[in-house]
Copies of this chain bind each other. A is one copy, B any other.
Amino acid sequence: MAGDWAVLHSRKLYEGRILNLRLDEVRLPSGRLAVREIVEHRPAVAMLPVADDGSVLLIRQYRDAIRQEILEIPAGILNPGESPREAARRELQEEIGFDAKQLEEWGTFFTSPGFSDEQVTLFCASGLVESRLDPDEDEFIRILAVPREEIPVLLDSGRIRDAKTLAALAWYLAKK
């Protein structure tokens, strides 16, 4: 019941390169006052790359936030002025060295709406053709191809530990 909520005061504690930290003092429908810690984050795209034989391409990279390597679908933050579709094509070429003849938009979702406004627009990329853009020098990526029939076992193995990748792979199976 959004109408009963009121943001009484909002304060930026940090304004950074990819995110800001904001403290909201809110009045809840109960009348109680509370503080909410909110991370404002630049929007992002993620792409499920599907090869002509139905296998999908995953990447393995180190992530400082979790201090470990993780398997993910390609993804990245929108540059200023860039549309999600433009960002998707750029990131595919930078991260896996392919352009996509078809880029089907599956949806846009919040990664963790309890504390952050980060949104990811998910595309299914098919008709892959080699086309490499210079990778971001911050990114050190290895590519893994997974046949479609192996995805159910991969999901149940616990090896997919990234929410957007889990959503994309399960959705890919559910769609057909």
Chain A interface residues toward B at CB < 8 A: 1-2, 4-5, 7, 13-14, 16-19, 21, 24, 26, 28-30, 32, 34-39, 41, 44, 62-70, 72, 75, 77, 107-118, 120, 137-138, 140, 152, 155, 158, 160-164, 166-167, 170-171, 173-175
Q: Which residues of B contact A110 (CB under 8 A)?
A: 65-66, 70, 161-163
A161 lies within 8 A of B5 (CB): no
The interface residues of chain B lying within 8 Å CB-to-CB of A41 are 112, 115
Residues of B within 8 A of A4 (CB): 140
**Which residues of chain B come closer than 8 Å to A69, judged between CB atoms?**
2
Q: Give complex CA distance A70, B117 in Å.
A: 12
Are A65 and B117 interface neighbours, CB within 8 A? yes
In the complex the two chains form, what is the Cα distance from A89 to B108 in whole Å? 30
Main secondary structure of the interface of A (DSSP, over half): mixed
Whether A21 contacts B24 in the complex (CB less than 8 A), given A65-B116, A158-B107, A170-B167, comes out as no
B19 touches A166 (CB 8 A): no
Contact B19 A39, beta carbon cutoff 8 Å: yes
CB–CB A107/B160 < 8 A: yes
**Are B2 and A62 in contact, CB atoms less than 8 angstroms apart?**
yes
Instruction: Please indicate the chain B residues that have their CB under 8 angstroms from the CB of A13 in the complex.
Output: 13-14, 21
Give the 3 A-B residue pairs with the shortest CB-CB distance, closest first: A170-B170, A173-B174, A167-B167
Question: Please, how many angstroms separate the alpha-carbon atoms of A67 and B24 in the complex?
Answer: 11
- Picked from B1, B72, B113, B155, the residue with its CB within 8 Å of the CB of A174 is B155
Q: Are A16 and B2 neighbours in the complex by a CB distance under 8 Å?
A: no
Docked-complex contact A75 and B160, CB < 8 angstroms: no
Indicate if the CB atoms of A63 and B113 lie closer than 8 Å.
yes
Assess whether B166 is in contact with A64, with CB atoms less than 8 Å apart.
no
